[in-house]
Structure 1
């Protein structure tokens, strides 16, 4: 499916505010609410728009330590590591599979050093790591 300029503008507006009403979105892209609703439904059905999300300021969740953790795998199989990561969702903002320095790059937020240390101790069962924290 090829996106036209209106589709791209709809996506841009939804990225800025996914709670916008179809009527308001239509005004921004010069369509009626019904016409923009039809386009949004088509974008969803085609899999171009897949999810609507929120962004939470982690500082308000008492997550004061922002860390990037380079992961170096012990073994060829990454399955145990990935299962561990899936269970630690409350701390992990992003888990990137990378090429270069390491196998994965975790972006995490922790309430304090104790939580970070507990996480790292358990992580060490699956992989080696190098931690960088944001000042």
Structure 2
């Protein structure tokens, strides 16, 4: 069971996972070693699964952010999933979901032309509905 201190730790680490344990402790009114022990406990219990880096896709040259609802043509999804593995630079996330569609695909593209090429290849495996992200 998480207490308020654990929730504060998770909140602080969500904002800045590179924070020092001393600084984290100061923010949540614990010593650095006590904060470190709490973080280790959250990690060993599986509540904290890892740490990540937030990347600015636009600065990397990816100007088109697409959310694509995927409608499979059959119950055999492996051709679609295999296709995604060949599209590594574009695919951010592929969520299997419930509802009208089977998957929700999140992608990034340098241009509309590359998005179009991707969609032509994608349509060989599945039907889709495209949404473009205007602003986060």
Distance apart, 1:47 and its partner CA: 0.5
Count of residues in correspondence between the two structures: 134
Distance apart, 1:78 and its partner CA: 1.7
Q: What root-mean-square deviation, in Å, do the aligned CA atoms of Structure 1 and Structure 2 show?
A: 1.5
- Number of the residue aligned with 1:14: 13
- Number of the residue aligned with 1:62: 61
What TM-score results when the alignment is normalised by the length of structure 1?
A: 0.90
SS of alignment partner, residue 128 of structure 2: strand
1:43 aligns with 2:42: yes
For 1:20 and 1:87, the matched residues in 2 are separated by 36
Structure 1 residue runs of 4+, over 6 Å off? none
What TM-score results when the alignment is normalised by the length of structure 2?
A: 0.89
Distance apart, 1:121 and its partner CA: 2.1
Distance apart, 1:25 and its partner CA: 0.4
- Number of the residue aligned with 1:128: 127
Matches within 5 A, 1:104-123: 104-123=103-122
- Number of the residue aligned with 1:30: 29
Distance apart, 1:4 and its partner CA: 0.8
Unaligned runs of 5+ in 2: none
- Of 115-124 and 33-42, the range deviating more from structure 2: 115-124
For 2:86 and 2:21, the matched residues in 1 are separated by 37
